[in-house]
Amino acid sequence: MESKFGERIRTLRESQNLYLRQVAPLLEMDTAQLSKIEKGLRQLKKEQIPILAKVLKADQKELETLWLADQLMQLVKDEPTADEALKTVSKNIKNRK
């Protein structure tokens, strides 16, 4: 699965010349787990996003947004009415504000 979240954290990690083996222990996981997250094969726990944002000196809101977008994509990717459903959700969110 393509993961915008995974792509972004890999880009951030590599731009800072950090290795998987340096970042993974800070998230209390092994390098294989973090590699799978970067490849979109596994999901990071939401509670770990603030830690990751701090380690990678990244915008936490951006990472949370990409993480949630990946979650939604995984949920609706095979649904024929996904686009309409997401438009409805977006409208409902805007109306709540």
pLDDT of residue 1: 62
Instruction: State which amino acid sits at residue 54.
Output: K
pLDDT of residue 30: 97
> pLDDT tens for residues 1-39?
679 999 999 999 999 999 999 999 999 999 999 999 999
The H-or-E segment that residue 34 falls in is helix 31-38
What pTM was computed for the model? 0.88
Is residue 97 predicted with pLDDT exceeding 80? no
Q: What domains are defined for the chain?
A: 4-96 (1.10.260.40)
> pLDDT tens for residues 42-68?
999 999 999 999 999 999 999 999 999
